[in-house]
A and B are shown apart, each in its own frame.
Chain A
Amino acid sequence: MDSVRELKSTRQGFGKALLELGKKNKKVVVLSADLTSSVQAHKFEEKYPTRFFQAGVAEQNMISMATGLSLESFIPFATSFGVFVPMRCLDQIRVSVCYNNSNVKLVGSHCGLSTGEDGATHQALEDVASLRSLPNMTIIEPCDYNQTILATKAIVNMNGPAYLRIHRPKMKQLTKISSKFKIGKADIIQKGEKLTIITSGPVLVEVIKASKILVKEKIINFKPEIINCHTIKPIDYKTIINSVKKTNKVLVIQDHQIVGGLGSSVCEVLSQHFPAPVKILGMKDKFGESGSPKELWHRYGLDHEGIMREIKKFV
């Protein structure tokens, strides 16, 4: 059993799921662009060497190869850092993967400011924006280790392109391996009123912490509703609209550029179906920088303090 107390990363969850899938499903193959252990695919490589393809630092060709493998009925995971997959090979993803509706699973690790010390070049903050406009693409950002295991298995069970957005730092686990996970179905983490907070990825830890402190210290006199919107595309219209009908106010928190991320998607839903005030916390059209994940979330207002500040201002 994985202890809930143990700190683990989403990328480790991906590595764990790959091992299980490798055993259960002979069609699962893995491609790496020279970042095998960084994306935690090294154990799959050791155990299933004939189904592992080292593609070198050549992401465009990796996506093309993955497309070819999918045509032969394999289920390829094309893995790299989020700054390289999708962004280095976006046209291959658009035409060979999405237009062909190829059963290719893209995995971008080291996403968001939480990548930390490597700095701006390695912090994927535009990956969701890059992929969100592509037809046929499913985008999932799990919040923790356990959810990543479930998400990885879920994308194998669906046909068509998918992108799994995962992360480097080890974090507290928020979900259980026995939890339900359904692509396209957002989880209401905390039922509440007066404010809907929508988020995806590990930054959920900070959201929960902020809400707890605000309620405990009676800074606010209500519990906000918290939605873990792990599937960014297709977005769960229903859960979002139903919540906002109740609360009439939305705060979106994302470790991603404000432009084109989860918040944009929420705005697209609400503007067409149930207009309501929305505030988005994320990167304000800037590149990141070096620092520890904690320091960076603090500097850019994505830690619990920053989130508390915004909630107080907003309600």
Chain B
Amino acid sequence: MLTKKELKELKLKSNSVRINIIKMISESKSGHPAGSLGIVDILITLYSKLIKHNPKKPNWNKRDRFILSPGHVCPALYATLAEEGYFKKEELITLRKLGSKLQGHPHKEDLQGIELSTASLGQGLGAAVGIALGLKLNKSKNYVYCISSDGEHDEGSVWEAVNAANKYKLNNLINIIDVNNIQICGYTKDVWPLESFKAKYESFNWKVIEINGNNHCQIVSAIEKAKKLNYPVCIVAYTVPGKGVSFMEHKYQWHGKAPNQEEKESALQELEKERELIIK
């Protein structure tokens, strides 16, 4: 459980990450704002409170492993890693620029703290399964956290991985699905209906916990609960795409479009206002 102070801190960090996401994507004039904004609260809560990691030693052997399968929401991950001290926040605006550590989709050879280069959808969970197997073989007690997206569950390879985790009883694997209901061409219900994740994962013998993925307290309790279950656990996290910027919220049109100058300013104004409210 989070204390009031901890919650306030998480909210402030999340807000700061959102402000950076808007600045980064505006500066690069391309990128994926909606998904990035939606996933911030999960990332910040994981990195601040739940994942064992050490920004000074990104390859620390006792770290928990983290895979971001939908690599396109990496602005949120980059801003979170900067928030946690992996690199200087000033570098964030180099996103997608020539020679930047911050590639358009994350590349582990460019940035310390990235476990696996991802973004071709449907590969992250399978790699997480392999890591979980490897950790067990090495008798490590660490966990593997994977964030996958609802849209990427269109890929059959995701379901191969879901099956594999059941076969190998991977109780050290937690898959958080960011269910934001949008993908490039529209709402997931129209593009490729996927509901219900809960019923589907349960039929593969996973344990499922459903939460509001923009609620820090629910994220903490879900992970705490997941670690007590002796199963692979899927956390179905319902998030608001574009969260915090009213004109982007729930709009699939903001999946992969950068805000123009005017939109950027209006988004930042809104987020600054939110910041003041959190501080109060």
Contact = CB atoms under 8 A, between A and B. Distances in A.
Interface residues of A, number: 30
Interface stretch (B82-90, B114-122, B185-193): B114-122
A101 B133 contact: no
Interface string B105-147: 0011100000111111011111111111111011000000000
A71 B123 CA distance: 14
A95 B122 contact: no
A99 interface: yes
Contacts of B157: 58, 60-61, 64, 92
B119 A65 contact: no
A20 to B, nearest CB: 20
Interface of B: 65, 107-109, 115-120, 122-135, 137-138, 156-157, 160-161, 163-164, 167-168
A72 B108 contact: no
Given A64-B129, A68-B133, A96-B127, 12 more contacts: A56-B160, A60-B157, A61-B126, A63-B126, A67-B116, A67-B123, A70-B130, A72-B135, A73-B138, A76-B130, A92-B120, A100-B116
Contacts of B127: 64-65, 67-68, 71, 96
A150 interface: no
B126 A68 contact: yes
A3 interface: no
Contact of B117 (A58, A68, A95): A95
Contacts of B123: 60, 64, 67, 91-92, 95-96
A53 interface: yes
Contacts of B161: 61, 64-65
A129 interface: no
A56 B123 CA distance: 17
B163 A58 contact: yes
Contacts of A96: 116-117, 120, 123, 126-127
A44 interface: no
B137 A99 contact: no
A69 interface: yes
Contacts of B131: 68-69, 71-72
A50 B160 CA distance: 21
Nearest to B67: A68
A227 interface: no
Contacts of A73: 134, 138
Most interface-central of B109, B118, B133 (chain A CB within 10 A): B133
Interface in A43-100: 50-51, 53, 55-56, 58, 60-61, 63-74, 76, 91-92, 94-96, 99-100
7 contacts: A53-B168, A60-B122, A64-B123, A64-B125, A92-B120, A96-B127, A99-B107
Contacts of B137: 29, 50-51, 69, 72, 74
Interface of A: 29, 50-51, 53, 55-56, 58, 60-61, 63-74, 76, 91-92, 94-96, 99-101
A73 B131 CA distance: 10
A56 B132 CA distance: 18
B227 to A, nearest CB: 20
Contacts of B117: 95-96, 99-100
Given A68-B127, A68-B129, A74 B164 contact: no
Contacts of B108: 100
Contacts of B120: 91-92, 94-96
A96 B161 CA distance: 14
Contacts of B126: 60-61, 63-65, 67-68, 92, 96
B182 to A, nearest CB: 23
B116 A65 contact: no
A23 to B, nearest CB: 17
Chain B contact residues: helix, strand, loop or mixed: helix
B118 A95 contact: yes
A150 B40 CA distance: 50
A154 to B, nearest CB: 23
B129 A65 contact: yes
A66, A70, A99: most-surrounded residue (chain B CB, <10 A): A99
B112 to A, nearest CB: 14
A99 B114 CA distance: 13
Nearest to B69: A64
Nearest to B162: A61
The 5 lowest CB-CB distance pairs between A and B, nearest first, are A68-B130, A64-B126, A72-B134, A61-B160, A65-B130
Contacts of B128: 68
Identify which of A61, A63, A69 gathers the most chain B CB atoms within 10 Å of its CB. A61
Nearest to A100: B117
Given A58-B163, A58-B164, A60-B126, A68 B134 contact: yes
Given A68-B128, A95-B123, A100-B116, A56 B133 contact: no
A266 to B, nearest CB: 31
A65 B107 contact: no
A254 B8 CA distance: 67
A76 B128 CA distance: 15
A91 B124 CA distance: 13
Nearest to A57: B160
A92 B119 CA distance: 11
A71 B164 contact: no
A74 B160 contact: no
B276 to A, nearest CB: 42
Contacts of B116: 67, 71, 96, 100
A58 B108 CA distance: 26
